[in-house]
Homo-oligomer: A and B are copies of this chain.
């Protein structure tokens, strides 16, 4: 199956600015992208990157300077057959979790993200289009319901954890074992007790 991984190569992960400088955010975003590409390959697919600029990773890259939603919709409009789109900031994704998405027999399968986003989807419906702005999971559900296509939701903690905010870094340290987790440790992050449980702190 065709699996597209959109990537913001220009100013990625701005909400991590309180804890990472601009160059660090770019490096960490690339580490997460590499984890996602390896997971897609381990699940038996060849990933393609859809990037706003050159991405510097070992995968085919298409550059589209448009914002995320029109860039993804341009891919969907030009494609026939099933296609999956997986965000680049899911470093905890596993081949098993991804297989539960790609093996869904629904017309559209969605993976919700923390806070109401859509972290990944599969569509066999050629009319499905994305709108990632503001609570996209609910909007995508409503779109599928209105179209009459069948809908599935994939229940995966690993794929629901998009790493956007400083509070998300603890999950990468706790559960990760790839490039993103290694990058954070080498940058001096470690786990420490905090209000809810564990949080990432930098030395």
Residues of B within 8 A of A96 (CB): 155
Given B112, B138, B165, B193, which contacts A196 in the complex, CB threshold below 8 Å? B165
Q: Is the CB of B197 within 8 A of A97?
A: no
Q: Does A182 contact B (CB under 8 A)?
A: no
| Copies of this protein chain in the complex | 2
> What are the residues of chain B within 8 A of A51 when measuring CB–CB?
none
What is the minimal beta-carbon distance from A192 to any residue of chain B, in angstroms? 9
**A116-B174, A135-B191 known; A196 vs B164 contact (CB < 8 Å):** yes
Is the CB–CB distance between B157 and A198 below 8 Å? no
For A117, what are the chain B residues with a Cβ–Cβ distance below 8 Å?
Answer: 196-197
The verdict on A198 contacting B135 (CB below 8 Å), with A114-B171, A174-B116 known, is yes
Chain A interfacial residues counted at CB < 8 A: 35
Q: What residues on B are CB-neighbors of A15 within 8 Å? A: 195-196
Query: Which of B94, B138, B159, B170 is the one whose CB lies under 8 Å from A115?
Result: B170
8 Å CB interface, A92-148 against B: 94, 96-97, 112-117, 134-138
A–B Cβ pairs within 8 angstroms, 22 of them: A15-B195, A96-B155, A112-B157, A112-B174, A112-B175, A114-B171, A114-B196, A114-B197, A115-B170, A115-B171, A115-B194, A115-B198, A116-B197, A116-B198, A117-B196, A134-B198, A135-B193, A135-B197, A138-B198, A155-B156, A156-B157, A157-B160
